[in-house]
Amino acid sequence: MEITFSLEEINDVAKKLLNSGLKQIVTFHADMGAGKTTLIKAIAKQMGVEDVTASPTFSLVNEYETENGDIIYHFDLYRLNTEEEAYDMGIDEYFYSGNMCLIEWPEKTPNLIPLDHSSINIKQLADGKRRITLK
């Protein structure tokens, strides 16, 4: 699936992604500032998260609860230096918890990401729009 959109359309894009059958583990690939966190916020909102969502840059993982009690984990692995750091924090327990895991900078832990996952690539276009490719 490929979608080109403006930021004003991000909630509709999040809904389309969720309706496409995203897996429990979703990796987000994009350059810094391309909109990974913004898209994750929109996905969380569409899933019924009412809390304030923010990038977990300093804590590595944020936990959100949906209105029906489901848990969503939002990871920002940018600050990791090694996969061992992620393993030491118990990242595999999150990945195999059965809860949705939305992962920014998965390139930092290539050997720890479960094989059964969805991958979203975001490219910022010259006109300010974004192009998402879902695999």
> Any bridge partners for residue 133, and if so which?
2, 121
CATH number at residue 106: 3.40.50.300
The count of domains in the chain is 1
- From the list 86, 74, 89, the residue with the least C-alpha distance to 27 is 74
More confident residue, 115 or 52: 115
Give CA–CA dist 82/67, Å, rounded.
35
At 51 the pLDDT is 77
Residue 31 has pLDDT above 90, yes or no: yes
Range of the domain at 51: 2-134
In this predicted model, what pLDDT tens digit does every residue of 66-100 receive, in sequence order? 999 999 999 999 999 999 999 999 999 999 999 99
pLDDT of residue 50: 85
Confidence of residue 59 (pLDDT cuts 50, 70, 90): confident
Q: Using N-to-C axis directions, what is the helix angle for 36-46 and 10-19, rounded to 10°? A: 70
b/e 91-105 (16+ beta carbons within 10 angstroms → b): beebbeeeebbbbbb
**Per-residue pLDDT for 53 more than 80?**
no
Secondary structure (H, E, C), the chain:
CEEEECHHHHHHHHHHHHHCCCCCEEEEECCCCCCHHHHHHHHHHHCCECCCCCCCCCCCEEEEEECCCCEEEEEECCCCCCHHHHHHCCHHHHHCCCCEEEEECHHHCCCCCCCCCEEEEEEECCCCCEEEEEC
Q: How confident is the model at residue 3 (pLDDT cuts 50, 70, 90)?
A: very high
pTM of the model: 0.93
pLDDT digits (tens, 9 = 90+) for 37-50: 999 999 999 999 98
Q: What is the chain's Cα-based Rg?
A: 14
- pLDDT tens digit string along 105-130? 999 999 999 999 999 999 999 999 99
